[in-house]
Structure 1
């Protein structure tokens, strides 16, 4: 059996939609890996760019509540979201890597950090973030965008202080992504060897064959390194 990669979709989509969004990357990975797509746990409005193309393709789902900094802190402190993701990882695995898009990359970071804390990373070797968003924690009353941005920055620091992820990582970042800064911040959460692939695009899975080949080459190199 080929080694498995777990795919986690972005907020406001689902596993079926992500299969379509990631089809170009998946076509190049399938000769080397078995790809497993998981649905998020929470209901969500459709995500950016989902409509009208994926009209009627719901339910639309997400992994965690992170609309505001206090939402994310409370979500992970007061729910079993990470533990539920760990349980699904155990049930469907073993995996050698996790590929996450947007919020799915953030959820994957939390997952791998928890697995490392539990000494259960096992065969896991690769983390791949495509247009990932960075974890932030914190809380308190948020009154306006400027204050929230400040709390987000403090949240980055707070979350980083909980420890860096040792798993080797690949970061795929769109030059014109409105969430490019969080994607760049996410790189800082990883201690192990890091590869960064940049593409001339926005907040979406890369479609160009040459970009996807670079991503796959980076994944295979990371897999060979460990």
Structure 2
């Protein structure tokens, strides 16, 4: 396995993979020697999301992970896309994604992906790869697959980092995701003085990326 470990990156609602690539460029630069970042486009078209305009005007198509507003469970198109993408990554590197990183609505999908792996017992990193999640200005609840006979309110046990903007209009939803949906001993919360976007100060990016490295380091025993 000569490739760098890969993190699956899921953009917010009303954005796309290219926009999320730009939004996370500081994280990518700081971790360029540690991870490969794989950006995925959501399957449903929509209008521009919060904070997308005017900076990303014309950067179409704007996409979202749900087919309609208010969906709790993961839509079939989104599920099929995630399954295909994970299978393709495992063929590439023999390992699959070690982590998933989601922004806003993409955080709901990222949380749902971790929860689904947990409920279906796919938590063995040597088998399925996923080990941790990064949630950037995310909202709740997790958007999980429908798993027969499983409780979708189960707390997620994977290590997780939750980044919240103190001026974000959806910060309370992000805190609920952190407090209600993740196992407290495995979850870390970082708050920055920003709105619905990532911090731009170098020291803030350093704090964020240090936590990602810590989670990866603490779960790297699976490579042994």
Judge same fold: TM > 0.5, yes or no.
Answer: yes
**Paired residue total:** 200
The corresponding residue for 2:136 is 130
**Cα distance between partner residues in 1 of 2:122 and 2:110:** 14
> Secondary structure of the residue that 1:211 maps to in structure 2?
helix
The corresponding residue for 1:89 is 86
**Cα distance between partner residues in 1 of 2:110 and 2:159:** 13
Q: Contact conserved, 2:153 with 2:181, CA < 8 A, in 1?
A: no
1:154-211 deviation digits (Å, cap 9, x = unpaired) = xxxxx98531111100000111110000100111211251111110000012211111
Note closer, same or farther for the CA distance 1:213–1:16 as it changes in structure 2 (3 Å cut): same
Structure 2: 5+ residue stretches without partners: 91-95, 144-149, 220-224
Structure 1: 5+ residue stretches without partners: 138-158
Root-mean-square deviation (CA, aligned residues, Å) is: 2.1
Find the partner of 1:202 among 195, 210, 216.
195
TM-score between both structures, scaled by the size of structure 1: 0.81
1:84-120 deviation digits (Å, cap 9, x = unpaired) = 3233222234011011110011111111111222333
1:17-48 deviation digits (Å, cap 9, x = unpaired) = 11111111111111110111111111110011
The corresponding residue for 2:48 is 46
Q: Contact conserved, 1:82 with 1:110, CA < 8 A, in 2?
A: no
Note closer, same or farther for the CA distance 1:220–1:58 as it changes in structure 2 (3 Å cut): same
